[in-house]
Amino acid sequence: MSDSNSKDVILIGAGVLSTTFGSFLKDLAPDWNIKLFERLEKPAIESSNERNNAGTGHAALCELNYTVEQKDGSIDIEKAKEINEQFEISKQFWSYLVKTNQIQNPQEFIRPLPHISFVQGERNINFLKRRFEALSPLSMFKGIEYTEDHEKLKEWIPLMMDGRNPEEKVAASKIDEGTDVNFGELTRKMAKNLNEHDNAEIFYKHEVQDFNRRKDGKWEVKVKDLNTKKVETYITDYVFIGAGGHAIPLLQKTGIPESKHLGGFPISGAFLVCNNPKVVAEHEAKVYGKEPPGTPPMTVPHLDRRYIQDENTLLFGPFAAIGPKFLKNGSNLDLFKSLNTSNVGTMLASAFKNFPLVKYSIQEVLAKKEDRMKELRRFVPNAKDEDWDIHIAGKRVQVIKDTKEHGRGYIQFGTEVVNSKDHSVIALLGESPGASTSVSVALEVLEKNFPEYIKEWDGKIKEMIPSYGQSLIEDYALLKEIRQATGNELDLINK
């Protein structure tokens, strides 16, 4: 039971988003009662698991989709600046958790790793060069290097240059300050920390099944204990839906107007994974290429060194695979059940509008291992079949909705916060750069949905995120100071 100042909050799902939001809330409002329900037996089993995502700390250092070529030939770098700042914000929050001893051993979840962009052919080389020229004067991207020289490239990416035609036109840019993030480990650490808080409790093997709005504005949340099969009703002031692929179906169950004309289309990611230590030792970077024309950011091919506990691993992908489940551990009826009279037109309009994407997805689904190895050999010319295995990673549920600006069936890329008008229901929908920007997403949730508390919480938020309220894009001295501090705290410097 809560006293008059305290509020009850229910968080759904123990992935990186709910555990991040819970970690904020427990320090901002220590008297509030937090209950987190997770249908599986542990935290971070779905998309936040280290084997279900690529672990890129997205800071726009190497991802070419954040620097878009304009019709006049210029490169728009605004998105890159925004993504870079958001990752600096994430690192500040993780540093705060380490500094206050709420989580320990940062090297278990974040490691420094150069981020490289790699392109082939005149047109793409020309683009990369102009991107480099646009980014290099900015303090944010200080230290970026560019080369078309094969000898230099052999130093940066030996595995990718071995066996390559010396006449082939290729180029790359590199920034050493990139990272590989084990979002699974980070989530487990935050979940443990949240569970240790006096006013918070995590219930595993508990599935949220339905909602009922009461006359007093509170919500009744029906939760099934999957061990005992008993269903209990919990009453709460706020519902936070951080249920990954299931966020859309759960939002629909609340019946709030914001859940209408909105659908989701599930796409699984698959990677080729290499565990041969000899091959792995030849590649110490995350290397992002250019996405096929007309396809979304999640199709950008990349070759990554991963730090997953003590394993030596490379991954290449992602390749898309389509199936009806909204979660890896979901049901084959998920897609079917999410269709209703308000969104079936939205979904159909989307299929017509996005034909290149549909075509690409069908090609991807039909692709065999040999087709995928062919893709890989554009990156690793000497790749051997026996060194690489297919691994099915996590699900992304692409949000499809009607908008005033884009009309019916618009595919929304990126993470989106949806909330009821009275702010009692908050849902996080969407996909990449999800995990990397989880802290900015949590801040957006706080600012948008708790306006009456934000002034009171301002000082504490500044303690958590020292740059809060200031621009790291405009203020280089501040950026430098913050990077130095988080680099030290997270053990990212001189490794």
Ligand X SMILES: Cc1cc2nc3c(=O)[nH]c(=O)nc-3n(C[C@H](O)[C@H](O)[C@H](O)COP(=O)(O)OP(=O)(O)OC[C@H]3O[C@@H](n4cnc5c(N)ncnc54)[C@H](O)[C@@H]3O)c2cc1C
Backbone angles phi, psi at 117, to 5 degrees: -105, 140
32, 51, 55, 279: which one binds ligand X (CB under 6 A) = 55
Considering the complex, state which of residue 146 and residue 360 has its C-beta at the smaller distance from ligand X. Answer: 360
Per-residue 3-state assignment (H helix, E strand, C coil) for 171-209: EEEEECCCEEECHHHHHHHHHHHHHCCCCEEEECCEEEE
9, 12, 380, 427: which one binds ligand X (CB under 6 A) = 12
334 near ligand X, rule: CB under 6 A: no
428 near ligand X, rule: CB under 6 A: yes
Q: Which residues make Cβ contacts (< 8 Å) with residue 45, sequence separation at least 6?
A: 328, 329
237 near ligand X, rule: CB under 6 A: no
Using CB under 6 A as the criterion, what x/- string covers residues 367-396 for binding ligand X? --------------------------xxxx
Interface positions, 158-177, toward ligand X (CB under 6 A): none
Task: Output the residue with the shortest Cβ distance to ligand X.
Answer: 434
Backbone angles phi, psi at 410, to 5 degrees: -85, 135
Considering the complex, state which of residue 48 and residue 467 has its C-beta at the smaller distance from ligand X. Answer: 48
Interface positions, 20-39, toward ligand X (CB under 6 A): 37-39
8, 9, 29, 46: which one binds ligand X (CB under 6 A) = 46
Considering the complex, state which of residue 53 and residue 420 has its C-beta at the smaller distance from ligand X. Answer: 53
Residue 32 CB, nearest distance to ligand X (Å)? Answer: 20
Backbone angles phi, psi at 19, to 5 degrees: -70, -30
436, 440, 449, 486: which one binds ligand X (CB under 6 A) = 436
From 7-15, 192-200, 463-471, 485-493, span contacting ligand X (CB under 6 A): 7-15
112 near ligand X, rule: CB under 6 A: no
Q: Which residues make Cβ contacts (< 8 Å) with residue 111, sequence separation at least 6?
A: 179, 180, 181, 307, 492, 495
Considering the complex, state which of residue 207 and residue 489 has its C-beta at the smaller distance from ligand X. Answer: 207
From 8-16, 115-123, 152-160, 211-219, span contacting ligand X (CB under 6 A): 8-16
Distance CA 136, CA 133 (A): 6
Total interface residues for ligand X by CB under 6 A = 42
Q: What DSSP element (H or E) covers 417? A: strand 415-419
Residue 252 CB, nearest distance to ligand X (Å)? Answer: 12
Residue 74 CB, nearest distance to ligand X (Å)? Answer: 28
| Strand residue runs (E) in 8-164 | 8-12, 33-37, 68-69, 75-76, 110-112, 115-120, 145-147
Considering the complex, state which of residue 15 and residue 263 has its C-beta at the smaller distance from ligand X. Answer: 15
| 8-state DSSP, 413 | P
Residue 229 CB, nearest distance to ligand X (Å)? Answer: 15
208 near ligand X, rule: CB under 6 A: yes
The tokens 């506990």 sit on which residue? 309
Residue 86 CB, nearest distance to ligand X (Å)? Answer: 10
| 8-state DSSP, 56 | B
Using CB under 6 A as the criterion, what x/- string covers residues 274-303 for binding ligand X? ------------------------------
- C-alpha closest to that of 17 among 58, 39, 47: 47
Q: What DSSP element (H or E) covers 376? A: helix 369-379
47 near ligand X, rule: CB under 6 A: yes
The tokens 């480990």 sit on which residue? 185
Considering the complex, state which of residue 126 and residue 209 has its C-beta at the smaller distance from ligand X. Answer: 209
242, 264, 266, 289: which one binds ligand X (CB under 6 A) = 242
240 near ligand X, rule: CB under 6 A: no
Considering the complex, state which of residue 170 and residue 287 has its C-beta at the smaller distance from ligand X. Answer: 287
14 near ligand X, rule: CB under 6 A: yes
Direct distance between the N- and C-terminal alpha carbons of the chain, in angstroms, rounded to an integer:
49
184 near ligand X, rule: CB under 6 A: no
397 near ligand X, rule: CB under 6 A: no
The dihedral through the CA atoms of 344, 348, 351, 353 has a sign that is: negative
Distance CA 59, CA 143 (A): 14
Distance CA 10, CA 339 (A): 26
Q: What DSSP element (H or E) covers 464? A: helix 451-464
Considering the complex, state which of residue 244 and residue 409 has its C-beta at the smaller distance from ligand X. Answer: 244
Asked if residues 120 and 169 have their Cβ atoms less than 8 Å apart, the reply is yes
Token couple for 3: 């006293």
Amino acid at 323: G
Considering the complex, state which of residue 115 and residue 395 has its C-beta at the smaller distance from ligand X. Answer: 395
Residue 149 CB, nearest distance to ligand X (Å)? Answer: 29
266 near ligand X, rule: CB under 6 A: no
Backbone angles phi, psi at 255, to 5 degrees: 75, 5
269 near ligand X, rule: CB under 6 A: yes
420, 432, 440, 467: which one binds ligand X (CB under 6 A) = 432
| Strand residue runs (E) in 159-300 | 170-175, 179-181, 200-203, 206-213, 219-225, 231-236, 238-241, 262-274, 286-288
434 near ligand X, rule: CB under 6 A: yes
- Can you give the binding site for ligand X, defined by CB under 6 A? 12-18, 37-40, 45-48, 53-56, 58, 183, 207-208, 242-244, 246, 250, 269, 318, 327, 393-396, 428, 431-436
